[in-house]
Amino acid sequence: MPEALTPLERRVYQYMIDFLAENTYQPSIREIAKRFRIKSTKTVSDLLHALTAKGYIERDQSRSRGVRILGFASAGQVQPVPVRAEAHAPPVDERQRYVTMDRRFLPGDDTFMLRVRDGAMTGRGILDGDYVLVSPSGRVKDGDMVAVQRGPDALIRLLARRGDLLVLESTNPGVPSIELARDEQITILGTIAGVFRPFHEQLPDVVTGVDDTAPLMADVPTPAMPAAVS
């Protein structure tokens, strides 16, 4: 296991990852110094040496920008996924964010993430505060777990048919299922393709003398993506 990083080492390490993803090459020592307002290039060299010693990077002293981030996948293997911060929020004209994920975990290019804000699906292991991956592509089958827009609310439920009625089923005995009226209009946003559970919300570290005001994720709008029901 790599050793823990100091706050400044973590900032430099994350900056190097972001810079590499955006530019396909590593920042120079002078670029790192400018980014963090470090006056001495030796201080930056010492930081890189610490990252090497702790097992986060490898350095080739014979090459300019000769740094390799251990375990980093190339940009061609990842994809930015839109994140809707709240489940109970209208999907249209809502400000969104991106989180970059390995493509192997994504069922399609239109996948987005939605944050769960109720406990209706605890029987399927999905808790309040989890993030679910929603796949809008394809047709939805009876019994699938889906994200549904019902009025102002986006809900995570099992989609079931009871005769001519559509039912949004809960797997939590404390949350009732919803029988939809025959004329009720809903939008199926997609099927649930995965779940991510953060055990804490990490806030940026405050480092004295370091200017690090760049946002963690960029705000972008994401429209709702309806899906057909078979």
Domain layout of the chain by residue ranges: 7-69, 77-200
* pLDDT, the chain, mean: 78
The reported pLDDT for the residue numbered 77 is 67
Are 7-69 and 77-200 in the same CATH fold? no
| Residue 223 clears pLDDT 70, i.e. is over it | no
Average pLDDT over every residue of 98-120: 85
> Over the stretch 188-201, which tens digit does the pLDDT of each residue have?
999 999 999 888 76
Alpha-carbon separation of residue 78 from 56, 72, 156, 200 (angstroms): 20, 10, 26, 24
CATH topology for 7-69? Arc Repressor Mutant, subunit A (1.10.10)
pLDDT band at 9 (very low <50, low <70, confident <90, very high): very high
Q: Which pTM value belongs to this model?
A: 0.60
Average pLDDT over every residue of 11-33: 89
CATH number for the region 77-200 comes to 2.10.109.10
- DSSP for 22-75, please give it: HHSSPPPHHHHHHHTT-S-HHHHHHHHHHHHHTTSEEE-TTSTT-EEETTPPPG
The reported pLDDT for the residue numbered 33 is 94
The reported pLDDT for the residue numbered 167 is 94
